[in-house]
């Protein structure tokens, strides 16, 4: 059983925010905890974390996005509908309180891109049970969410192989 539930936030322009959340999931699974991860704006079933989650007991991952880029400030109706489905699912999962760790992957980006309103995410947090740890990931975390979080880590890009022309690689970026 988990201890005190926290709100953890991973943000910044560097690579590794989702990876950090997945590391927490792996650690939680090692302690027999139940994990639920919702990926906002991601819809590729071939991502490594989707495949790996099937091998880890009590780890559920749900993607609520298309396998396509979303237009910042001008999302398509399908993107708005998927974000609404994701936030509704998150509310349901948090209300039930059956999971020790709930990860809302790329939720900060969903707010920044106009798929969600910041106040909807703030309201969502109120449904978190005291023993549930909630993780919010993605670039562009708002000051409001940063102030609410118990822990904030900013991942800073110093150097990235992509700038050398090395494309995204399976097992590294996805």
The Cα 142–Cα 79 span in angstroms is 21
Other CB atoms within 10 A of residue 91 CB: 15
Q: Is the pLDDT of residue 110 over 50?
A: yes
What pLDDT score was predicted for residue 1? 47
Residue reference for tokens 């995410």:
121
List, for residues 24-58, the tens digit of each pLDDT value.
999 999 999 999 999 999 999 999 999 999 999 99
Per-residue buried b or exposed e for 10-49, using 16+ beta carbons within 10 Å of the residue's own CB: bbbeeebbbeebbebbeebbeeebbbbbbbbbbeeeebeb
> Are the C-beta atoms of 15 and 173 separated by less than 8 Å?
yes
Q: Is the pLDDT of residue 2 over 80?
A: no
Termini Cα distance of the chain: 30
* CA angle centred on 164, ends 160 and 168, rounded to 5°: 65
What pLDDT score was predicted for residue 145? 98
List, for residues 61-82, the tens digit of each pLDDT value.
999 999 999 999 999 999 999 9
């Amino acid at each position: 059983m988990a201890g005190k539930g926290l709100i953890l936030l991973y943000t910044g322009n560097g690579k590794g925010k989702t990876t950090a959340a997945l590391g927490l999931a792996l650690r939680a699974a090692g302690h027999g905890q139940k994990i639920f991860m919702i990926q906002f704006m991601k819809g590729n079933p071939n991502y490594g974390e989707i495949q790996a989650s099937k091998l880890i007991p009590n780890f559920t991952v749900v993607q609520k996005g298309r396998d396509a880029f979303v237009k910042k400030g001008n999302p398509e109706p399908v993107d708005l509908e998927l974000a609404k489905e994701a936030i509704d699912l998150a509310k349901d999962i948090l209300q039930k309180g059956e999971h020790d760790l709930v990860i809302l992957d790329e939720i900060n980006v969903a707010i920044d891109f106009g798929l969600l309103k910041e106040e909807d995410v703030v309201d969502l947090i109120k449904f978190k049970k005291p023993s549930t740890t909630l993780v919010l990931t993605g670039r562009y975390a708002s000051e409001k969410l940063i102030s609410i979080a118990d822990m904030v880590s900013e991942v800073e890009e110093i150097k990235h192989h992509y700038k050398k022309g090395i494309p995204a690689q399976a097992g590294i970026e996805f």
